[in-house]
Chain A
Amino acid sequence: MKEVTLREFATREERRKSSLFKAFSVGGFLGPYAICFALFFVFPLVFGVVMALCSFDGKTMFPSEFVGFANFEAVFTNPVLAKDFWGSVWNTLRFALIIVPLSILLPLGLALLINIKPPGYKFFRACIYLPGIFPLTATGLILLKMFDYHYGFFNAFFGLTLDWFGETWSAWLLIGYFCLWCGIGGNFIILCAGLENVDKSLYEAADVDGCGAFSRFLHVTLPGIKDQLFLCLFTTFIGYMNLYGQVYILASNTPDQDAMKSAIYRIQDMLLGSSKGYGYAAAMGICLGIIIIFISVIELIVTKERKGGHAHEERFVSWQKSR
């Protein structure tokens, strides 16, 4: 009896380890996604890269001539293209630099409050997430009407005379508000779930150890949700580098368009109408992609170091405990 089990066990192990079987199971699990990824992501992307190397005749979406890196050259050297595109990249970057930290810290704070579990916290959680579920066009429309210069509720109620969508700074302020109002829901839910899953025994251990609230947050909570934080940081940054809808809805009437247009807005402009701009648009998209990758890699390196730092802290805490 025992012998058979052992043999069975051994064969099972062998089978599991055989490379053929492994390839088969990996293929089975990864295959469907790989196909979708290739078909609906890689193919259009490769074609997009091809577009960046071609010129267009304005009649069809198909490239008419291979021009090498001429489009990229134009994006860097043509006065008007370079001015408009890099200006818009700078607009986007500046905005991302402000909005990304806010889009993580604000939901983190709210998630911590939720985690205290005050009465009705489920309801509050639902409320905070609510605006984000609606179409941007619907929520944006409400903001447009609410902040109208002369007939909007906000100005009338507070007795202000500010043309929110007419001044560059206030338009950006409202875009920021729009992004937070409708955009923090995702991060908030992820962080809530992360906090919920932090090992409770760690908190108890920290309490027993007499840790203050802050050090408990630093040494237990933060390391416990670092995966989620990383996820949020990464996706939020990429999301806001692709900022478009919010600006389009709120600021397409602001007089100083050069100061309002985000990078994607510029690219989108070139994709409308005749196909003559497609090559430049694709080249701009790739430039923007490279910038995003570059900054993301920096993020990656920095967060990796931070993780190392936490590891030290954790070891330090356990060392303290053992004493």
Chain B
Amino acid sequence: MEKKKLIPLLALAAVLSSCGPTGTTTESSFDPLDEGDLVRDEAGNIVYDGVELKMWSVTTGDDASTQDAIIAGFNDLYEGQIHVTTTHTSRYDLETLLNTTMQFDRPNAPDLLFNHGSRAAEYRERGWLLPVENYFGKAETPLDKDDFVPSLLNAVTLDGSLYGLPMDVHSAMVVMRVDILEKNGYEIPTNYEELVAICDDAPKKAANNQLWIRGENSEGYAADEWRLASTASPYAAFPISYGDMWVHEFVGYTAAVQNGATLVDEEGMPAWNSDETAKGLQLLRDWIFPSATSYNKSALSLDYGSSYDVGNAPLLAGTAMFKLQGPWAYMNEMADFDRLLRNDGGADNITTRSLSGLFTRDDSEASSLIKGEGHAIMMMAPEKFSLTKACAATVFMDYMAYYSGIEWAKRGHLPAAISVSNSSAFKADPAYEEYIQYWGQPEDYVVVPPTVNYTYIDTYFKNALQQTLSSSYQNQTVKAILEDQYEDCVSYIELYA
């Protein structure tokens, strides 16, 4: 009985496996003369008659609602012609969903994917993506590649073809307590040296009972009441930890690139096992564990170990002056301070700066760089290809790249299209004046260059970063940690090659 059931199933599996991968669009099938299912009007323009596009997006929470509002604008503009439906999925679940769907359920795969551009190389290797450039041509949608930030465009350019259109770039940023800085006679720091000068001086002041702070507290003071910092515990002005997402997604890489490191080499292999990377990570290690040889003499941060979002509570309490944060949360941050210090300036008591220049003592071109992540819209290889859909998709991509505008930038997503961030409409917005300008120019942002080994390169770099900042690894040099992780990383890549 058992056997009988088994044989047809196995046979079925065999049949399925032989026909599984076929029947999908191949990359090289573009023929410029082929009109496919296009319908044109007398003037020769493509007619979009109720084209439905399905998009999966990696954005969640407030980002998702902002994005939905932007897409709703597109849907209104193209009512009756093109309609985009979006599903939001967190970065943790998106990979699994893509994997299962692209293998078992291609008919229900999305047409478009709004995800981090650095993933494109891996997706293409699995045969999930279509090159987009030809369809821009076919649809006569304008595409000026020179108008996009080179690093972002490069991330989705694979073997010379474009596999998606960059939308934006974002990173972590720094939130600063202006009120505390001013009250204690400090200026807003613009580079690492200035930052360390403040962070080395503040603990001394605190120890001498001279450092003014205010904020949320459990000692019975009003939040906006100035008081002197307690001498009982050491003052650390800029909390970071290896458990913090801001550190392992952005600050670790940023420290590396600001000190001149290259993350990935020409062959797509990891290149972060360098002295430059070690220099950057050593600076972060000294941040928490200062030594006789370190530039900072006192700890900029307590050892928060595996905790995350470690800056939130100290910044609100005034026991820190700086913290790391995702720019998409800055609006919430302002709301928090509007509430906390409502009688004395509210959100004016904080300001924000990009990571530019904060993690190196060098003064080179690289020192202003910020490691970011760029969103891009990619076109998924569908089971049944429709040229009309592909052309409609380019119209949507173009809209998203050029008309997402200031609302998307308020959430820290700086436009990938240079002409947008230079436009007067963009700069005229009060939000630009107030905080977006401080997040720097999109050109300062770099992302990981395209590599099919992205997952491994990223995972093992983060391991090295975690160990560098962990108290239990202080007996190993940064360089040794990097070499260890590099070896494992390369071994896995070679195993799969």
Q: Which of B474-497 contact A (CB under 8 A)?
A: 487-488, 491-492, 495-496
A294 to chain B minimum Cβ distance, whole angstroms, is 26
Q: Does B243 contact A (CB under 8 A)?
A: yes
**CB neighbours of A43 from chain B (8 A):** 6, 9-10
Q: Does A196 contact B (CB under 8 A)?
A: no
B11 to chain A minimum Cβ distance, whole angstroms, is 12
**CB neighbours of B303 from chain A (8 A):** 163
Q: Does B242 contact A (CB under 8 A)?
A: yes
Given A38-B6, A257-B463, A274-B122: A149 touches B307 (CB 8 Å cut-off):
yes
B408 to chain A minimum Cβ distance, whole angstroms, is 29
Beta-carbon contact of B242 and A255 below 8 Å = yes
Beta-carbon contact of A274 and B472 below 8 Å = no
> How far is it, in angstroms, between the C-alpha of A272 and the C-alpha of B100 when the chains are bound?
11
Beta-carbon contact of A148 and B495 below 8 Å = no
Residue of B103, B471, B492 contacting most chain A CB atoms (<10 Å): B492
Q: Which of B58-74 contact A (CB under 8 A)?
A: none
**CB neighbours of A254 from chain B (8 A):** 306
Binds A, one of B13-21, B413-421, B443-451: B13-21
Beta-carbon contact of A151 and B472 below 8 Å = no
Residue of B2, B96, B306, B466 contacting most chain A CB atoms (<10 Å): B306
Beta-carbon contact of B304 and A149 below 8 Å = yes
Q: Does B455 contact A (CB under 8 A)?
A: yes
Q: Does A16 contact B (CB under 8 A)?
A: no
Q: Mark A137-164, 1 if CB is under 8 A from B, else 0.
A: 0000000000011110000000000010
Beta-carbon contact of A166 and B471 below 8 Å = yes
A192 to chain B minimum Cβ distance, whole angstroms, is 36
> How far is it, in angstroms, between the C-alpha of A166 and the C-alpha of B308 when the chains are bound?
12
- Contact residues of B: prevailing secondary structure: helix
Binds B, one of A77-85, A236-244, A282-290, A297-305: A77-85
B233 to chain A minimum Cβ distance, whole angstroms, is 12
Q: Which of A165-184 contact B (CB under 8 A)?
A: 165-168
Q: Does B384 contact A (CB under 8 A)?
A: no
Binds B, one of A55-63, A211-219, A224-232, A315-323: A55-63
Q: Does B197 contact A (CB under 8 A)?
A: no
Q: Select one of B96, B467, B496 contacting A255, CB under 8 A.
A: B467
> How far is it, in angstroms, between the C-alpha of A59 and the C-alpha of B128 when the chains are bound?
9
B469 to chain A minimum Cβ distance, whole angstroms, is 8
B285 to chain A minimum Cβ distance, whole angstroms, is 12
Given A38-B2, A38-B6: A149 touches B122 (CB 8 Å cut-off):
no
> How far is it, in angstroms, between the C-alpha of A323 and the C-alpha of B307 when the chains are bound?
69
Q: Does A35 contact B (CB under 8 A)?
A: yes
**CB neighbours of A276 from chain B (8 A):** 496
Q: Does A42 contact B (CB under 8 A)?
A: yes
**CB neighbours of B302 from chain A (8 A):** 150
Beta-carbon contact of B125 and A60 below 8 Å = no
Given A149-B304, A273-B122: A166 touches B470 (CB 8 Å cut-off):
yes
Beta-carbon contact of A151 and B307 below 8 Å = yes
> How far is it, in angstroms, between the C-alpha of A84 and the C-alpha of B310 when the chains are bound?
32
**CB neighbours of B242 from chain A (8 A):** 253, 255
Beta-carbon contact of B472 and A27 below 8 Å = no
> How far is it, in angstroms, between the C-alpha of A254 and the C-alpha of B488 when the chains are bound?
18
Q: Does A34 contact B (CB under 8 A)?
A: yes
> How far is it, in angstroms, between the C-alpha of A148 and the C-alpha of B244 when the chains are bound?
13
Given A58-B126, A58-B496, A168-B472: A255 touches B466 (CB 8 Å cut-off):
yes
**CB neighbours of A273 from chain B (8 A):** 95, 99, 122, 455
Beta-carbon contact of B1 and A59 below 8 Å = no
**Which single residue of chain B is at the shortest CB-CB distance from A164?**
B306
Beta-carbon contact of B103 and A277 below 8 Å = no
**Which single residue of chain A is at the shortest CB-CB distance from B308?**
A253
Beta-carbon contact of B310 and A256 below 8 Å = no
Q: How large is the interface on A (under 10, 10 to 19, 20 to 34, 35 or more residues)?
A: 35 or more
Q: Does B127 contact A (CB under 8 A)?
A: yes
Beta-carbon contact of A31 and B1 below 8 Å = yes
Beta-carbon contact of B492 and A80 below 8 Å = yes
**Which single residue of chain A is at the shortest CB-CB distance from B127?**
A59
Q: Does A39 contact B (CB under 8 A)?
A: yes
Beta-carbon contact of B95 and A60 below 8 Å = no
> How far is it, in angstroms, between the C-alpha of A19 and the C-alpha of B95 when the chains are bound?
55
Q: Select one of A42, A46, A74, A255 contacting B472, CB under 8 A.
A: A255
Q: Does B305 contact A (CB under 8 A)?
A: yes
**Which single residue of chain B is at the shortest CB-CB distance from A148?**
B307
**CB neighbours of B243 from chain A (8 A):** 165-166, 253
Given A58-B126, A274-B122: A80 touches B472 (CB 8 Å cut-off):
no
Q: Which of A117-147 contact B (CB under 8 A)?
A: none
Beta-carbon contact of B307 and A150 below 8 Å = yes
**CB neighbours of A280 from chain B (8 A):** 495
Beta-carbon contact of B492 and A38 below 8 Å = no
**Which single residue of chain B is at the shortest CB-CB distance from A63?**
B17
Q: Does B97 contact A (CB under 8 A)?
A: no
Q: Does A47 contact B (CB under 8 A)?
A: yes
A256 to chain B minimum Cβ distance, whole angstroms, is 7
Given A62-B20, A166-B470: A42 touches B6 (CB 8 Å cut-off):
yes
A85 to chain B minimum Cβ distance, whole angstroms, is 12
Q: Does B77 contact A (CB under 8 A)?
A: no
> How far is it, in angstroms, between the C-alpha of A277 and the C-alpha of B313 when the chains are bound?
42
Q: Does A24 contact B (CB under 8 A)?
A: no
**Which single residue of chain B is at the shortest CB-CB distance from A78?**
B495
> How far is it, in angstroms, between the C-alpha of A62 and the C-alpha of B126 when the chains are bound?
13
Q: Does A37 contact B (CB under 8 A)?
A: yes
Beta-carbon contact of A27 and B1 below 8 Å = yes
Q: Mark B288-327, 1 if CB is under 8 A from A, else 0.
A: 0000000000000011111110100100000000000000
**CB neighbours of A84 from chain B (8 A):** 488
Beta-carbon contact of B491 and A80 below 8 Å = yes
**CB neighbours of A38 from chain B (8 A):** 1-2, 5-6
**CB neighbours of A31 from chain B (8 A):** 1
> How far is it, in angstroms, between the C-alpha of A35 and the C-alpha of B9 when the chains are bound?
13
**Which single residue of chain A is at the shortest CB-CB distance from B490?**
A80
Q: Does B473 contact A (CB under 8 A)?
A: yes
Q: Which of B454-472 contact A (CB under 8 A)?
A: 455, 463, 466-467, 470-472
Q: Mark B267-288, 1 if CB is under 8 A from A, else 0.
A: 0000000000000000000000
**CB neighbours of B125 from chain A (8 A):** 58-59, 274
Q: Mark B313-343, 1 if CB is under 8 A from A, else 0.
A: 1000000000000000000000000000000
**Which single residue of chain B is at the shortest CB-CB distance from A162?**
B305
**CB neighbours of B103 from chain A (8 A):** 60-61
Beta-carbon contact of B13 and A277 below 8 Å = no
Beta-carbon contact of B472 and A35 below 8 Å = no
**CB neighbours of A277 from chain B (8 A):** 496
Q: Can you name 7 extra interface pairs (CB under 8 A) apart from A27-B1, A148-B307?
A: A34-B1, A80-B495, A163-B307, A166-B470, A253-B242, A274-B122, A277-B496
Q: Which residues of A contact B (CB under 8 A)?
A: 27, 31, 34-35, 37-39, 42-43, 46-47, 58-63, 74, 78-81, 84, 148-151, 163, 165-168, 253-257, 272-274, 276-277, 280
Can you list 11 A-B pairs with a CB-CB distance of less than 8 A? A43-B6, A78-B491, A150-B302, A150-B307, A163-B471, A253-B242, A255-B306, A255-B463, A255-B466, A273-B99, A277-B496
Nearest 6 CB-CB pairs, A to B?
Answer: A163-B305, A80-B491, A166-B305, A255-B470, A62-B17, A38-B2
